[in-house]
Structure 1
Amino acid sequence: MVATPSAQIHHPSAFTPIRHSFFWFVITTLFLYLLYSSNLLLNQTTKSIPTSENVQNTTNPFGVSSPIRFDTELKHIVFGIAASSRLWRWRKEYIKLWWRPGETRGAVWIDNQVRSRKNESLPDIRISRDTSRFRYTNRQGSRSAIRISRVVSETVKLGLEDVRWLVMGDDDTVFVLENLVRILSKYNHEQYYYIGSSSESHVQNIFFSYAMAYGGAGFAISYPLALELEKMQDQCIQRYPSLYGSDDRMQACMAELNVPLTKETGLHQFDVYGNLLGLLGAHPVTPLVSLHHLDIVDPVFPGMTRVKAVKHFLESAKYDSASIAQQSICYDKRGWSILVSWGFAIQIVRGIISPRELEYPTRTFLNWYKKLDYTAYAFNTRPVARHPCQKPFVFYMSETKYDKVRKKIIGIYTLHREEYPDCRWKMESPETIENIVVIKNQDNFRWHKAPRKDCCRILPSKKKETMYLWVDGCRTGELVEW
């Protein structure tokens, strides 16, 4: 059978829908392929190029916003204490206040042999190596600066195990050990850290450096950094014969190692003279870690020897070391401003003084350079009030104890009796108060949270001569009101 022409010719209109479907199928497939390829390429690029987020996640696996704390303990810290045989008889009493045999590790490095009794609570006493081969050309200083600067290297050479931090201090430096552990726990001990603080004297910081950790306040060096320093310190010291002290030599070597100062303001050099009431009464919102120059300033508590006063001060730290010297502010309806420095002193001033002013230390102390500007400090201060009605009534801590029934810390503060000028204001005098009782909870984790002062609340009292205060963390929406 022969096919007719009409049977062999296909009508084009019958295949049009099929062609359109095939066209869109090809287009869709090509689009999906391109989309998949671009995503794959983007993912590979993201993995290969270290963006800022990736770098942060690499160096900080816990995330930027999470508070990171390391498990540093007192056993991980080794102390190197610089001492003088000439002053050892008196200075060793300060070391006894904070040294804990069996818990603390380290050594005292001294220039000559000294006598010591077996039962004294002191570190090992070691004689520093001879430093006569090092040049020293500073006419105002002492060659002992070279010996003291090598305390770090000599402590490293002791070869102690399980060390994370080396902490340097002077023989008249007193540490609050729990707070030292708290600040060091913020930092990764496997990295290079040089931690310390500046002087209170602005002029001292200009003469030396704001980037230098002052040795009397104490400074900490992470152990890996200490190992690197030990390798090059002797050569480094030879390059700086004209420097004055040991701590500026240390900072010079840190600069060569490209390690900057990490500042912790709770380490106190106390380059001042006079009364520490203004400084400790308005302590910055940071853990109090160390006290220095205690032989130069007045006793922390009047009527006591310097050593006994510091010992008395540390009694409160046994109950809540995290809160020692932390400031709280409240106001009495009788028109009084109340400034609490927990574990140390309470000041009551007639009249309303704003919290902004009360945060500034009053200048109860003198500058290290007495002939220079008396306001030349590295922080804001305020003058001692000249108005006879605004002389503060100071209540010093007389006892701190723990109430097992209430499960609270009880602090008793007693008025320091002295002559007060006559006041013509028609206002009740704080002198009618003999004792202030402060009640608070222990707060070991206060430095795990955002820094904030405690709030102070006045409690009702049945005794006119006794005031009761509650000091604790602020509630939501709570203000310092007057």
Structure 2
Amino acid sequence: MELIWWRPELEMRGVVWLDNRVESLESEKMMLPEVRISGDTSKFAYKNRKGRRAAIRISRVVSETLRLGMENVRWFVMGDDDTVFVTDNLVRVLNKYDHNQFYYIGSSSESHLQNLRFSYGMAYGGGGFAISYPLAKALEKIQDQCIQNYPELYGSDDRMHACMSELGVPLTKEVGFHQYDVYGSIFGLLAAHPIAPLVSLHHLDVIEPIFPKMTRVEALQQLAIPMKLDSAGLIQQSICYDRENKLTVSVSWGFAVQLFRGILSPREIEMPSRTFFNWDRKSDYRGYSFNTRPVMRNPCQKPFIFYLTRSGIVVSSNQTLSQYKIHHDSHPDCEWEMADPAKIDMVEVYKKLDPHLWDKSPRRNCCRILNSANKKMVIDVHVCSEGEMSYIGNR
């Protein structure tokens, strides 16, 4: 899974820390990060009955990586073995901050109960987090004593948070780091991603494949195509309307397009639909740390979903062209007198590359319908012009 986002040809530097040696081929060693064995932690007390002592080893690898003495390091970024990073977006986020200062950057859990059990001020390790170089130096000096102070803690990330608290450094929250403490399909979360760069994905061995009829790895390989094409715009939502046919259109670029019968407000569509269960495997909406909306109960408003099939560059116009094919799902009969979205087989989306998207104040991209005929809808996604908005008018 590392090869989906790990780029040895660009000399990315990193270490995979294990507690035992493993055999690997020479060809694998050339493609993957360096493998090292983390230090013995048997001297540290561990009293949490539900956790594992390996949490101590994991929490110390930032300090152990620092001791390797790599040159010209600005940030230490930590993730789990099932964390996928969108590397360019990670760099974009970290570039906003002064690496000479103390920074502890990440995000909390999607689960309200998990945040209550641990802390809303903790960066969850599965979603990944970043520590600036001077903060890593300060941590290395006190970490072993800090670990001794908290034998009752469960994991590595809450130990890290405890040490950050001793150093007086709060969490700087970036919502693009995703722990994904949920079960089921995260379609609703990806289709209504926050207006922020997508930095990481986690628990991909727990949730369903993000593209239907694919394995988890195949689905990530599919996502990697638009990721390499335009990482800044990946999974970013745009909302527009086909007024002639009375349709609401939601584009999650590089992932999926949704068509809804009727005119639905942006306030509603930008809220994730509950296609997933919370970490306690319940459908209780109060278990999330953010607002959600139920899956459409009116059979006429069940969305028609089109998933990415291919994407590339139109050289003549310096635009990306991504194509989305309808996902054939059962749709109940609808008696509304309006156009049937099922007659559309394909959606094409044109969008200009915008690597500096996140250098500006955050704003959702705008979109407009260019054409809708012959079983195909064509959409233009673009930076909103002056006065442009997702206007719903009379519903």
| TM-score of the pair, normalised by structure 2 | 0.97
Match 2:36 to one of 91, 108, 126: 126
Paired AA for residue 364 in structure 2:
K
Paired residue secondary structure (1:460): strand
Corresponding residue for 2:324?
413
- Tell me, in whole angstroms, the C-alpha distance in 2 between the residues paired with 1:265 and 1:311: 23
Instruction: Provide the C-alpha distance between the structure 2 equivalents of 1:433 and 1:136, rounded to a whole number of angstroms.
Output: 58
Give the corresponding residue for 1:325. 235
1:113 Cα deviation (Å)?
A: 1.3
Structure 2: how far apart are the matches of 1:384 and 1:371? 15
| Alpha-carbon contact 1:107-1:123 (below 8 Å) kept | yes
**In structure 2, what is the equivalent of residue 282 of structure 1?**
192
1:64 matched to which residue of 2?
none
Q: Distance in 2 between matches of 1:115 and 1:181?
A: 32
Answering whether residue 158 of structure 2 is matched by residue 248 of structure 1, we say yes
Consecutive unaligned residues in structure 1, runs of 5 or more: 1-93
Q: CA deviation at 1:371?
A: 4.1
CA distance in 2, matches of 1:118, 1:171: 21
Distance in 1 between residues matched to 2:37 and 2:61, nearest whole Å: 10
- What is the percentage of aligned positions where both structures have the same residue? 60
Structural mapping, 1:107-256, within 5 Å: 107-120=15-28, 121-256=31-166
| Conserved 8 A contact 1:375-1:381 | no
CA distance in 1, matches of 2:25, 2:210: 28
Q: CA deviation at 1:405?
A: 2.0
TM-score by length of 1: 0.79
Matching residue of 2:274: 363
Larger helix proportion, structure 1 or 2?
1
Q: Distance in 2 between matches of 1:325 and 1:181?
A: 17
| Aligned-residue RMSD, C-alpha | 1.0
Shift of 1:447: 0.7
Q: What do the CA deviations read for 1:112-139 (whole angstroms, capped 9, x no partner)?
A: 1112222222101111111111000001
Amino acid at match of 2:366: C
Deviations, residues 179-217 of structure 1 (Å, cap 9, x unaligned): 000000000000100001000001100110000000000
String of CA shifts for 1:310-332, please: whole Å, max 9, x gaps. 11112102121101011100111
Which stretch of structure 1 is more off in the superposition, 416-425 or 204-213?
416-425
Residue 3 of structure 2: aligned partner = 96
| 2:333 aligned to which of 412, 418, 422 | 422
Cα shift at 1:224: 0.6
Q: Distance in 2 between matches of 1:374 and 1:381?
A: 7
User: 2:285 touches 2:292 (CA, 8 Å); kept in 1?
Assistant: no
C-alpha contact (below 8 Å) 2:48/2:153 kept by paired residues:
yes
- Determine which of 321, 341, 345 is the counterpart of 1:434: 345
Aligned residues: 388
Question: Are the structure 2 counterparts of residues 371 and 330 from structure 1 closer, same or farther at C-alpha, using a change threshold of 3 Å?
Answer: closer
3-state SS of 1:170 partner: coil
Q: How many angstroms apart in 1 are the aligned matches of 2:102 and 2:54?
A: 27
Task: Indicate if the aligned counterparts of 2:277 and 2:283 stay in contact, CA closer than 8 A.
Answer: no
Shift, 1:403, TM fit: 1.0
Equivalent pair of 1:455/1:471 in contact (CA under 8 Å):
yes
Q: Distance in 2 between matches of 1:311 and 1:105?
A: 22
Tell me which structure has the larger Cα radius of gyration. Answer: 1
Note if 1:404 corresponds to 2:312.
Answer: no
- The AA in structure 1 aligned to 2:323 is I
The whole-number CA distance in structure 1 between the counterparts of 2:25 and 2:238 is 43
**1-structure distance, mates of 2:255, 2:231:** 12
More contact order relative to length (CA 8 Å, sep ≥ 6)? 2
Describe the SS at the equivalent of 1:413: strand
